[in-house]
Amino acid sequence: MYQFVTGPLAWLAFGIFFIGLIVRVILYIKGLDWKMDRVTYGVNTSYGIKGAIRSVLFWLFPFGTNGWRTHPVFTIITFVFHLSLFISAIFLPAHNYILKQKWGISLITIPEAVGDYLAIAVMIAALLFVVRRIALTEVRILTTPYDYLILLIAVAPFVTGFIAYHQLFNYKLWLILHILSGEIMLVAIPFTKLSHFVLFFMSRIQIGMDFGIKRGGMKNKGLIW
């Protein structure tokens, strides 16, 4: 079973992940309205690029935007969750061992103890997300079971990985469950809200170009809007 989930099933999961994300990006670009979303982009490209870069960079850093500064606690929790998830997924020694063993790829790694703390951080942040969705009326009325399912898919690899790493129960079983949950997350990303993994950058680039060209970025440059 271990050979299957780390072999053919892993190839399938990564294939769906990469191909699915490419398709989502293409569909996003094709879905832009030529009359509204792309006005002057081909003419005032430099202003658009500058606006796009500013939009992405300001949102990539805590408190870089008014939106982040409005809810500082939520901002910290969000960044802890996403950074811990990203670093653990890419730079954990066990993950790199499998990459090296199966595909000959090796990246820099973090100490296993750091990875353990990051897993705990992800689980605590996820719990706080749930509390927020329940406690805040303005968030609760927008929350559906789908939102909890997406959060479960994102957190499951960390819960199962934490249990397997500490060998709290049947190590082989939880290791397989950890790998399976990770592959489920990979497959789910292109088809669910988890696609914001990539579409975040697409939307920030689009909005940044829009504001960089049409809504003040070229102020006093002769544009009528």
Q: Where are the domains of the chain?
A: 2-213
Q: What is the largest CA-CA distance in the chain?
A: 69
Residue 224: per-residue pLDDT:
40
Phi, psi of 130 (to 5 degrees): -65, -45
Instruction: Specify the length of the chain in residues.
Output: 225
Q: What pLDDT sits at residue 130?
A: 95
Return the pLDDT at 152. Answer: 95
CATH architecture, range 2-213:
Up-down Bundle (1.20)
pLDDT tens-place values along the chain, 225 residues long: 777 777 778 889 989 999 999 999 998 888 776 666 555 666 677 777 888 888 888 888 888 777 788 888 889 999 999 999 999 888 887 777 777 776 777 777 888 888 889 999 999 999 999 999 999 898 899 999 999 999 999 999 999 999 988 888 888 888 889 999 999 999 999 999 999 888 888 888 888 888 777 765 555 554 443
Pairwise CA distance, residues 53 & 134, whole Å: 35
Q: What pLDDT, on the 0 to 100 scale, is given for residue 36?
A: 62
Q: Report pLDDT for 223.
A: 40
Tokens matching residue 86: 């990203």
Cβ atoms of residues 40 and 213 within 8 Å: yes
3-state secondary structure the chain: CHHHHHCHHHHHHHHHHHHHHHHHHHHHHHCCCCCCCCCCCCCCHHHHHHHHHHHHHHHHCCCCCHHHHHCHHHHHHHHHHHHHHHHHHHHCHHHHHHHHHHHCCCCCCCCHHHHHHHHHHHHHHHHHHHHHHHHCHHHHCCCCHHHHHHHHHHHHHHHHHHHHHCCCCCHHHHHHHHHHHHHHHHHHHHHCHHHHHHHHHHHHHHHHHHHHHCCCCCCCCCCCC
pLDDT per position as a tens digit, 117-139: 999 999 999 999 999 999 989 88
